Structure 1
Amino acid sequence: MSPGATMQRVYIELKARVLAGTFPPGSRLEPAQLATSLGASATPVRDALHRLAGERLIESWHQEGFRQPILAEADLCDLYSWAAMLLALALKDRPSHQAAGGLFELEERPNYGEATESLFRTIAMSADNQELRGALINAIERSQILRRAEVRVDQASRGLLAAMEEDYRFGRWTGLRSKITSFHRRRVRQAGRIVAELRPRTDPLR
């Protein structure tokens, strides 16, 4: 396998682990250790870690290595607010009521986290502005780790998502924009509890 192909494979596999929440918050990501499990040398692993750090999916410091981010309540509030603004922009110029024909199909996903990502990513991919698409997809990916905590904290999560999905399928853009804004404001209010759910059970409360 060529070096470029190896780098891409390692990046995809490592990114999937990060998005799946494989590494607890604050855990160090050592290239040498990861290389063994990824079946690669440390160099492509290190390159992939730098790329993920550039996407803000992990954190890095000069000469300090890499780690899974430790998210604080304020971090979640900022991320939720940012995602809400980007989604609103992606839906801004659509008519108040128009069938969704011609847009990307919304896949049926029984899992709350996967379904939420599918809806928001579908909205992102149908946006005309390439920069907006890129920023929104990045925000969606950085939020993936939060979804499992959201559904544990908020029993209404699946119902809220179903209502947004229905508005999308019927092209009810005004209603969808309103529901997306309310969804993220709700998450901001719940940010402290979501952070607590993300923290490993052995960690002391701080």
Structure 2
Amino acid sequence: MSPAHVFEPTYEAVKRRLMTGVWPAGARIEAARVADELGVSLTPVRDSLFRLDGERMVDFRPGEGFHVHRLTETEFRDLLELHQVLLLAAIAAAPNAAAAPVSADQPYPDRIADLFLAIAERTSNGEIVASIAAIGDRLQFSRHFDAAILGDVESEYRRIETAVADAEPQAAVRNLLLGYHERRAHEAARFARMLGAHQGGQA
């Protein structure tokens, strides 16, 4: 295993590329090329890819190497469902707590990810926080297509952000979160098609 001071930034850099769609779905990841681009040896890159394989963001096939995981329609629906369950558990556990503010100086996919993480962190339950973060990482690239598929997502984001920041009644926040996930589940097939058709490079 690589030293932590080398492994962690390498892992975060590789994961960020996956979360922003630098590589197309199913593409083979050339570990040696990534190592050159990041200015590190091959070992921390391979260690990072094996960890990401365990997190189901990368697929390792013996004799074929590492490939970007292709998110199917079924997986997308399943991830949305679990994400929803965990967020609803988070607001039930801390119904009157206000979430930490989210920086506005970020693109929409990062803001919505941070907002959901802030909701989770209200609970002080480390398992809920870690689970929502992990699912969010796997869904992150799909969020780059929200506006193209769903239209105005900024107003939806602001409604959720305001409800959470103002500690509105649990039922109101719950309904907003249900609506958020239902909209995306309804368009799961389109999300899967667009994710599969992406040719690489940030969306």
**TM-score normalised over the length of structure 2:** 0.88
Aligned to 1:141: 137
Aligned to 1:11: 11
CA distance in 2, matches of 1:3, 1:170: 43
Match status 1:84 vs 2:81 = no
Match status 1:166 vs 2:162 = yes
User: Counterpart of 2:66 in 1: which secondary structure?
Assistant: strand
Match status 1:180 vs 2:149 = no
Counterpart among 96, 103, 107 of residue 107 in structure 1: 103
CA distance in 1, matches of 2:198, 2:176: 33
Residues 40-64 of structure 1, C-alpha deviation per residue, up to 9 Å, x if partnerless?
2211110011111222222223443
Deviation at 1:146, TM superposition (A): 0.5
For residues 57-136 of structure 1, what are the structure 2 equivalents within 5 Å?
A: 57-95=57-95, 98=96, 100=98, 103-109=99-105, 111-136=107-132
Deviation at 1:155, TM superposition (A): 0.7
Larger RCO: Structure 1 or Structure 2 (Cα < 8 Å, ≥ 6 residues apart)? 2
Residues 137-191 of structure 1, C-alpha deviation per residue, up to 9 Å, x if partnerless?
1011111101111111011322211111110111013211111111101110111
Residues 92-140 of structure 1, C-alpha deviation per residue, up to 9 Å, x if partnerless?
1334xx462xx42233246321221121011122222211111111011
CA distance in 2, matches of 1:110, 1:180: 21
CA distance in 2, matches of 1:150, 1:74: 18
Match status 1:47 vs 2:43 = no
Deviation at 1:30, TM superposition (A): 2.1
Letter in 2 for 1:198: L
Question: Identity rate of aligned residues, in percent?
Answer: 29
Distance change in 2, residues 1:110/1:129 (3 Å): closer
Contact 2:115 2:161 in 1 (8 A): yes
Letter in 2 for 1:154: L
**TM-score normalised over the length of structure 1:** 0.87
State the superposition RMSD in angstroms. 1.9
Structure 2 stretches of 5 or more lacking a match?
Answer: none
Contact 1:146 1:194 in 2 (8 A): yes
Distance change in 2, residues 1:177/1:46 (3 Å): same
Which range moved further: 193-202 or 80-89?
193-202
Residues 59-86 of structure 1, C-alpha deviation per residue, up to 9 Å, x if partnerless?
2234432111111211111111111011
Structure 1 stretches of 5 or more lacking a match?
Answer: none
CA distance in 1, matches of 2:36, 2:93: 49
Letter in 1 for 2:180: F
Residues 9-56 of structure 1, C-alpha deviation per residue, up to 9 Å, x if partnerless?
211211221111111101011212211111122111100111112222
Query: How many correspondences in the alignment?
Result: 197
Distance change in 2, residues 1:187/1:174 (3 Å): same
